[in-house]
Amino acid sequence: MSEKPIKKDEEVESESESEEEKEEEEVTDLSNSDVATKYREAAKICNLALQGVIQQCVAGARIIDVCKFGDSVVEQSCAQVFRSKSVEKGIAFPTCVSVNECVCHNSPLESEEQPPLENGDMVKVDVGCHIDGYIAVTAHTFVVGADPATPIEGPQADVVKAAYLGAQAALKTLRPGNTNKMVTEAIARVAESFGVKAVSGTLMHQMKRYVIDGNKVILLREEPGMEQRVEDCTFEPFEVYSVDVAMSSGEGKPRETDTRTTVFKRAVDQQYRLKMRASRYLFNEVNARFPTMPFSLRALEDERQARMGVVECLKHELLHPYPVLYERAGDHVAHFKLTVLLLQSGTVAVTGMPLPEGLYNSDKAVDEQTAALLATSNKKKKRNKKKKAAGGEGDEKEEA
């Protein structure tokens, strides 16, 4: 047998550089059809979990049970896709069920008792899934026990329709060449038409692989004198965004109460040598299981250790909290979230559910400008060039 030739250091270094170049060349935006497929698969699972959770939300249901059910749907569904490949997949945002004046992020622990759901409760469900780091998120609002035979009217109907149509207006505005400010303005027109307030502090983010809160940001509500500001940005082809719209019949300025924060995300740019054993347990678990995605303390085996350890982790800014926020008692709050892909063929929302026909009757309507926006197609106009004997330009037609 001939001996395998020994490679020189220069050859080894050259091969190493070549492998690095291949990794750098990997396309992780929507121009890669495999990436688009993974976003769509994650979206299918999101929508499935959302539908399942809504079915579980009946009078007498425990919120903790509903949240656990939503998480289990995501995990079990992820196990059924991309089985032959070594692909990371799972929960990108833990199931949250927020009731009435609770705006968002309510995902209780086993040790915490919350009142069961009742008929007439206005429920906001929030869930997220990722396939190979490509994230899809969604949220929907509904009323427990609602029946189209007795439509919902008044402020409840106003706030639901405003939030839903606000999300649709944002979807129609999210096109290459448009700006984040245009989206904020479109949502503001809807809120004004229905006499409600967009919830302040809400941000919509561009999403990338393993990044749920990218640098391009859309402000839901902008007011003179507000401290919160975002940089102006222009949307580009092949980007992905989370459209996140919450509306309130109250002031739209939610606050924290004594409800425990249970949803967190690892602050990847922070490091600290933790002192407490419980803190190290939590931090090691997070680094191993949730290095980039939001998670619930409920997902950890030792809940007591997790509750103890989170304090030191927060003190040293190793975790980013998603606090449970509330409007004033009696206020109505609606929340809708879409995952939006800016494809070459046009803008498409791959998550979300429509409102039931005739269930929400509002005596208010959008203004003419918004009505015209909502009537536009999400598809791009396709140039259909035809060769003619005498020469000339082809006509344009819109993609079906």
Pairing of strands 102-104, 134-143: unpaired
Token pair listed for 91: 């929960």
235 and 255 fall within a common domain: yes
pTM here?
Answer: 0.88
- Is 13 a member of any domain? no
Q: What integer is the mean pLDDT of 312-322?
A: 95
How far apart CA 374 and CA 95 sit, in angstroms, is 30
Total domains in the fold of the chain = 2
CA 211, chain centre distance (Å): 11
Q: pLDDT exceeding 90 applies to what percent of the chain?
A: 80
pLDDT computed for residue 3 by the predictor: 44
Which structural domain range is residue 269 located in?
262-322
Token pair listed for 232: 């102006």
Q: What integer is the mean pLDDT of 147-175?
A: 96
179 and 291 fall within a common domain: no
pLDDT computed for residue 25 by the predictor: 75
Q: Any alpha helices (H) in the chain, and if so which ranges? A: 9-25, 33-56, 63-78, 154-173, 180-194, 277-289, 303-315, 368-374
- Is 81 a member of any domain? yes
pLDDT computed for residue 261 by the predictor: 96
- Identify the band that residue 338 occupies on the pLDDT scale cut at 50, 70 and 90: very high
- Is 394 a member of any domain? no
pLDDT computed for residue 224 by the predictor: 72
Radius of gyration of the chain from its Cα atoms, rounded to whole angstroms? 24
- Is 23 a member of any domain? no
232 and 161 fall within a common domain: yes
Print burial letters for 246-283: b (CB count within 10 Å at least 16), e (below 16).
Answer: bbbbbebebeeeebebbbbbbeeeeeeebeeebbbbbb
Give residue-wise pLDDT tens across range 271-310. 999 999 999 999 999 999 999 999 999 999 999 999 999 9
211 and 87 fall within a common domain: yes
Contact (Cβ atoms closer than 8 angstroms) between residue 310 and residue 319:
yes
Closest CA to 338 of 193, 176, 172: 172
- Identify the band that residue 85 occupies on the pLDDT scale cut at 50, 70 and 90: confident
Q: What integer is the mean pLDDT of 22-39?
A: 86
266 and 251 fall within a common domain: no
Determine which of 132-146, 159-173, 246-260, 381-395 has the lowest per-residue pLDDT on average. Answer: 381-395
CATH code of 288's domain:
1.10.10.10
How far apart CA 169 and CA 263 sit, in angstroms, is 29
205 and 192 fall within a common domain: yes
- Identify the band that residue 383 occupies on the pLDDT scale cut at 50, 70 and 90: low
235 and 294 fall within a common domain: no
Token pair listed for 373: 């926006």
123, burial (CB in 10 Å: exposed 0-12, middle 13-18, buried 19+):
buried
Contact (Cβ atoms closer than 8 angstroms) between residue 382 and residue 399:
yes
157 and 168 fall within a common domain: yes
Q: Measure the CA dihedral 55/59/61/62, to 10°.
A: 130
Determine which of 153-162, 188-197, 228-237, 390-399 has the lowest per-residue pLDDT on average. Answer: 390-399
- Is 25 a member of any domain? no
In the chain, the amino acid numbered 264 is: F
200 and 211 fall within a common domain: yes
- Is 364 a member of any domain? yes
How far apart CA 400 and CA 381 sit, in angstroms, is 9
How far apart CA 68 and CA 71 sit, in angstroms, is 5
- Is 78 a member of any domain? yes
Give residue-wise pLDDT tens across range 228-266. 678 999 999 999 999 999 999 999 999 999 999 999 999
pLDDT computed for residue 223 by the predictor: 77
Is it the case that residue 13 has pLDDT exceeding 80? Answer: no
How far apart CA 334 and CA 161 sit, in angstroms, is 9
Write the Ramachandran bin of 338: left for phi over 0, alpha for psi from -120 to 50, otherwise beta: beta
pLDDT computed for residue 379 by the predictor: 80
254 and 292 fall within a common domain: no
Contact (Cβ atoms closer than 8 angstroms) between residue 199 and residue 191:
no
How far apart CA 106 and CA 38 sit, in angstroms, is 28
90 and 173 fall within a common domain: yes
What's the mean per-residue pLDDT of the chain? Answer: 90
How far apart CA 179 and CA 176 sit, in angstroms, is 8
Residue 97 bridge partners (DSSP): 125
CATH code of 256's domain:
3.90.230.10
How far apart CA 181 and CA 334 sit, in angstroms, is 22
In the chain, the amino acid numbered 18 is: S
How far apart CA 43 and CA 53 sit, in angstroms, is 15
pLDDT computed for residue 391 by the predictor: 47
Is it the case that residue 45 has pLDDT exceeding 50? Answer: yes
Sorted by sequence, the CB contacts under 8 Å of residue 359 that are 6+ apart come out as 146, 148, 151, 152
pLDDT computed for residue 226 by the predictor: 65
The residue to which tokens 């980039």 are assigned: 292
192 and 335 fall within a common domain: yes
Q: Measure the CA dihedral 25/30/35/40, to 10°.
A: 170
